[in-house]
Chain A
């Protein structure tokens, strides 16, 4: 009998003791959470993609509410609508956001780019890249094993039969996951309004690049000389287009006409480089007309 009373006593007092300590410390160590953080978090798309540079949507919501220097337009997947809402909630000025889209700077489909060897390993570009930089003779080209496709949190990418990823312009939020997933670093974000694009990343000298892939940029700089606005410059045997100058000033796209390999192409949303559909629009620049 006395043991059971003792047990009751000990357990009750221990329970009460810890209960009181917890209750007390709950008050003492209480943290006030700004309710605005949760409201802002609800507005964000919650893809947890990290395009804003924070660990997740919650972390960004916290930063944008608590820190005056964090701009409200960092959420690329949310586009303008979310940026506006976040700006409204936090009382910050919203800088307009230019919608962007991911593009793969390679048009080396199976039929156009030559393979240096047959790759029969793990279906993963990073793994393939470890083996002498992948199967393609061109060491800069898309390996076509779909590491970017798997990394896309919004299902915006599929791998085409021709071995190049197709990006769905409606689903792509320009979060930049694929940009960092690609071991060849050939995916970049460009403004949706861009007019031309260079479908090649090869830094090889002309003859070498041309030998590996018949639509490579051979670094002849003809396009640069054609452009009256100075939007194109040559870097390491590769033409680079300044999308801003191109978009704002140019309306005739003289650069397209002279390219001997047709590596520089008009940029049309939803058209995959290297396909027949693209060939049909290659001659003129449709977006320059309007």
Chain B
């Protein structure tokens, strides 16, 4: 089996949790932890206290955006993005490796665009406030993409440095 295909099989064993947690994973876990806590509180308020929270939905939405993009950067490091590896399973190894490297360069260009364009867009969109909490939209909504794409660039370059991997 081509090493590329390992991307696709998340739960190899029952406990496939990584051996160690990088700080980025810790931040990611904290974001999901926050979402879980807020939602539990919200359900508690709604069904037990009959008193719906107004701020929870907006906060969860914004946390969820950060979770999506930060997780995407981390999944580059862990080679966990979903993709089609059919071509790589039929090609000889050195060709498959070449194409994989090319794909990483293509992704790197795109991530670079997301970073630079994202910061530019953040600057353009400044001033708008979210409707319930009054948080700056450009930071909490549009900010997620450029910051995490920068991290994604970093992880992609790290993978490109390794000669035989990918």
State whether these chains interact.
no
Binding site for A on B (CB under 8 A): none
Binding site for B on A (CB under 8 A): none
